[in-house]
Amino acid sequence: SYTVQGKEVNSSTYVQLQFNGSKTSYGASGLDQGTTYVWKIQANCATDTSVFSAEDTFTTLLCPTPTGLLDTFITANSVWLAWNKVDEAQNYRLFGKESSNSKIVQYVIPPDTVIFINSLISNSTYFWAVQAICDAPTNNNSFLSKISNFTTSASASEKMFVKDNTEVYPNPARNFLNIKTKGLVEITDLSGQIMFKGNGDVELKINKWSPGIYMVETTIKGEETEWIKLIVY
C-alpha cells in the first residue's frame, strides 16, 4: 500500500491518506483556489516501509469572482444583464429568482458577459448573481458574485434610445450600429477605452467588439452633451 501526506504550504499539519498497492494516482478535491500545496508519498511493503519521498508542490488555479453586475433596459417583462469578463472563464452560471418565489433558477451560458432575459412578471423584484466556470471537469468554479436586484416596470412600454439630438439603433446591437447626430460622437467601454470617435451620422461594424455595456457620448456645438447606454451582445 501507499501512504500519502499533504498540506497547504503554510500549514504545520499534514493530512494523511492510505491507498492499496495497485493504485498509483489520486484526484484531490475540496482544495482552496490559488493555493500552493505540498505532498509526499511512502511505500508500505510486506516486511518494511520506505522513507517518504521528497516533497512535491502544486498550486491550484484561481477562478476570479465576476464583478460589475449591471441590470439595464428593464421593461415590464424583460431585462438585459451584464457583468465584467473573467478571462479564465469557459462559461458562466447565472442564478436568479423572483422575490416572492423560493425557487432559484440556474442557467449555464457561454462566455458572453451579456444576456437577455424575458418572460418576466411585471412590477416584480428579481435577485440574481453570477458564478464563473473556469474548468468544469475539475469543478474549478469561482465564488458566487454579489447579489444584484432589479424591479420590472408595472406596464409594458417601448424604450426608445433617442435623445434630443441623437439616435442610436439597433440597441442592443450585435454586428452593426447606426448613429444619427449633428455633433461629435465618442463611444467608450466601461473601462474608459475609446472604441470610436467621429462626427455626424455613422454606421459602424461592431462584430469584433466584446459583448458588454458601452457609452455613446455626443457633443453638439462643443457645448451640449448627451449620453446613451449601448449594449453589444
How does pLDDT run across 169-199, given as a tens digit for each residue?
998 899 999 999 988 999 998 788 999 999 9
Residue 95 pLDDT > 90, yes or no? yes
CATH no. of 2-59? 2.60.40.10
> pTM for the whole thing?
0.63
Residue 211 pLDDT > 60, yes or no? yes
Q: What percent of the chain has pLDDT over 90?
A: 54
User: Are the C-beta atoms of residues 125 and 141 closer than 8 Å to each other?
Assistant: no
Residues 49-63 pLDDT 10s: 999 999 999 998 889
Burial class (CB in 10 A: 0-12, 13-18, 19+), 194: exposed
Q: Which amino acid is at 16?
A: Q
Domain boundaries for CATH 2.60.40.10 within the chain: 2-59, 70-151
CATH no. of 70-151? 2.60.40.10
The Cα 189–Cα 119 span in angstroms is: 29
The Cα 122–Cα 30 span in angstroms is: 41
Domain boundaries for CATH 2.60.40.3080 within the chain: 166-232
Convert the chain into a string of H (helix), E (strand) and C (coil): CEEEEEEECCCCCCEEEEECCCCCCCCCCCCCCCCEEEEEEEEECCCCECCCCCCEEEECCCCCCCCCCEEECCCCCCEEEECCCCCCCCEEEEEEEECCCCCCEEEEECCCCEEEECCCCCCCEEEEEEEEEEEHHHCEECCCCCCEEEECCCCCCCCCCECCCEEEECCCECCEEEEEECCEEEEEECCCCEEEEEECCEEEECCCCCCEEEEEEEEECCCEEEEEEEEEC
The Cα 141–Cα 32 span in angstroms is: 11
Residue 160 pLDDT > 70, yes or no? no
CATH no. of 166-232? 2.60.40.3080
Enumerate residues 6+ apart whose C-beta is below 8 A from 7: 13, 14, 15, 37, 38, 39
User: Are the C-beta atoms of residues 212 and 114 closer than 8 Å to each other?
Assistant: yes
User: Are the C-beta atoms of residues 71 and 84 closer than 8 Å to each other?
Assistant: no
Sheet with 70-72, edge to edge strand ranges:
70-72, 79-82, 114-117
* Residue 140: HSE in the Cβ half-sphere, 13 Å Cα cutoff: 17
Residues 7-26 pLDDT 10s: 999 999 999 998 887 788 88
